[in-house]
Amino acid sequence: VKWKKSDVKFEDRFDKYLDPSFFQHRIHWFSIFNSFMMVIFLVGLVSMILMRTLRKDYARYSKEEEMDDMDRDLGDEYGWKQVHGDVFRPSSHPLIFSSLIGSGCQIFAVSLIVIVVAMIEDLYTERGSMLSTAIFVYAATSPVNGYFGGSLYARQGGRRWIKQMFIGAFLIPAMVCGTAFFINFIAIYYHASRAIPFGTMVAVCCICFFVILPLNLVGTILGRNLSGQPNFPCRVNAVPRPIPEKKWFMEPAVIVCLGGILPFGSIFIEMYFIFTSFWAYKIYYVYGFMMLVLVILCIVTVCVTIVCTYFLLNAEDYRWQWTSFLSAASTAIYVYMYSFYYYFFKTKMYGLFQTSFYFGYMAVFSTALGIMCG
């Protein structure tokens, strides 16, 4: 062995394994710029449409208020104001809904913190450091899940708050661990090096029971006590209003399917780079890009959700909670569909183990992304 003196500093020696020509390619910059322009366009469009439409609606409603009772009864009333007595009605399955909302808030907090840490520290230099950081941050942010999920469940009049806390605490860990353990059995059968040791499984279960659950309990109690009282601006009607027939494109199922297209369009180029670093030999290190994409995704999702909710309420359908959640969460469906394209055209994987490994973890990733967007 011959040792040669190098002029490269020690902290810069990992740079030879990075691929700036791939990650900082013109297409990557163009996709960020394209998504940024989409955000500006969407925000402007939403602001303009809603301001103009709401101004028209307010003018129409104020005109109706000036009519006498006979004219108002004979008038053709329609629009979102007709459902003001039902819009704050609790959602169907409030226990699951509040658990999903709490989990989504926690996943967003974890994503934000991990990306910031990755931007400050070079987590890509050590194998497993990103995963370890994510697990630690997820456990530490469990009160966020309990706070938002517990407070929402309390505002919706839920009484089984302990059950809600358990579901909220174990929803994501059960999904991840269940998928990982299933894939692990296949890995053990194939004697693969990807098999997770039994001690690691026990450690993860201990984290769930002795760290995540108590912190989630603290967050739930805080949420119920601090913001668990309903403060609706108007009274909820005792009898639900019948939902009138509407055009096919105003149906919740159609709104949900169309809602995820724009958020997916703002991130799908970045998905290619993330998939390549995760499933190929590239090392992802441009976390500044990822932070920008996360911000863009949030803004686009918010705009799309506002528009979808407005359309639904304007059709006098007050079932907006699940529609609002699923219209943003449907981004996950498009991401998972894109993973099929990536598998068949961009990878050379084959066999039961590689296929189950890929699609299993992509399902976990897509589901977590959908819950976060929702």
Count of other CB atoms within 10 angstroms of residue 299: 20
Do residue 104 and residue 35 come from a single domain? no
Do residue 214 and residue 135 come from a single domain? yes
| Domain C-terminal end among 231, 260, 290 | 231
Confidence check: pLDDT of 74 > 70: no
Q: Using CA atoms, how far apart are residues 196 and 180, in angstroms rounded to an integer? A: 8
Q: Tokens for 23, please give them.
A: 């990650």
pLDDT tens for 289-314 read 888 889 889 988 988 898 888 888 88
User: What was the pLDDT predicted at 52?
Assistant: 76
Do residue 192 and residue 222 come from a single domain? yes
Specify the 3-state DSSP secondary structure of 374.
Answer: coil
- Within a domain: 1: no
Confidence check: pLDDT of 226 > 50: yes
User: What was the pLDDT predicted at 288?
Assistant: 81
- Within a domain: 14: no
Confidence check: pLDDT of 170 > 80: yes
pLDDT tens for 316-374 read 878 888 989 999 999 999 999 999 998 888 888 888 888 888 899 999 999 999 999 98
Confidence check: pLDDT of 252 > 50: yes
Do residue 309 and residue 274 come from a single domain? yes
User: What was the pLDDT predicted at 41?
Assistant: 79
Of the given ranges (20-24, 27-31, 36-40, 137-141), which has the lowest mean pLDDT?
Answer: 20-24
User: What was the pLDDT predicted at 312?
Assistant: 85
- Within a domain: 236: no
- Within a domain: 142: yes
The boundaries of the domain holding residue 308 are 26-50+78-88+248-374
Report the run of H or E that residue 11 belongs to, with start and end: none
Do residue 222 and residue 260 come from a single domain? no
| Domain C-terminal end among 231, 261, 276 | 231
Confidence check: pLDDT of 73 > 60: no
CA atoms within 13 A on the CB side of 349: 19
The residue among 152 and 241 whose pLDDT is bigger is: 152
User: Which of 39, 84, 78 is CA-nearest to residue 296?
Assistant: 39
> Cβ distance 322 to 92 under 8 Å?
yes
Q: Tokens for 84, please give them.
A: 């003001």
Do residue 46 and residue 82 come from a single domain? yes
Do residue 338 and residue 365 come from a single domain? yes
Do residue 98 and residue 227 come from a single domain? yes
- Within a domain: 98: yes
Tell me whether residue 204 is exposed, middle or buried, using C-beta atoms within 10 angstroms of its C-beta: 0 to 12, 13 to 18, 19 or more. middle
User: Which of 215, 241, 288, 14 is CA-nearest to residue 125?
Assistant: 14
| Residue with token string 């999920």 | 149
Q: Using CA atoms, how far apart are residues 217 and 71, in angstroms rounded to an integer? A: 55
How many domains are contained in the chain? 2
- Within a domain: 368: yes
pLDDT tens for 75-109 read 445 566 677 777 888 888 889 999 999 999 999 99
128: left (phi over 0), alpha (psi -120 to 50) or beta: left
Q: What amino acid is encoded at 229 in this protein?
A: Q
The residue among 188 and 13 whose pLDDT is bigger is: 188
User: Which of 193, 235, 216, 226 is CA-nearest to residue 141?
Assistant: 216
Q: Using CA atoms, how far apart are residues 204 and 31, in angstroms rounded to an integer? A: 37
Q: Which of 108-112, 128-132, 154-158 has the highest mean pLDDT?
A: 108-112
The DSSP secondary structure of 159-227, one letter per residue, reads --HHHHHHHHHHHHHHHHHHHHHHHHHHHHHTT-TTPPPHHHHHHHHHHIIIIIHHHHHHHHHHHHHHH
% residues pLDDT > 70 (the chain)? 87
Q: Using CA atoms, how far apart are residues 362 and 340, in angstroms rounded to an integer? A: 9
Do residue 122 and residue 180 come from a single domain? yes
The residue among 198 and 165 whose pLDDT is bigger is: 165
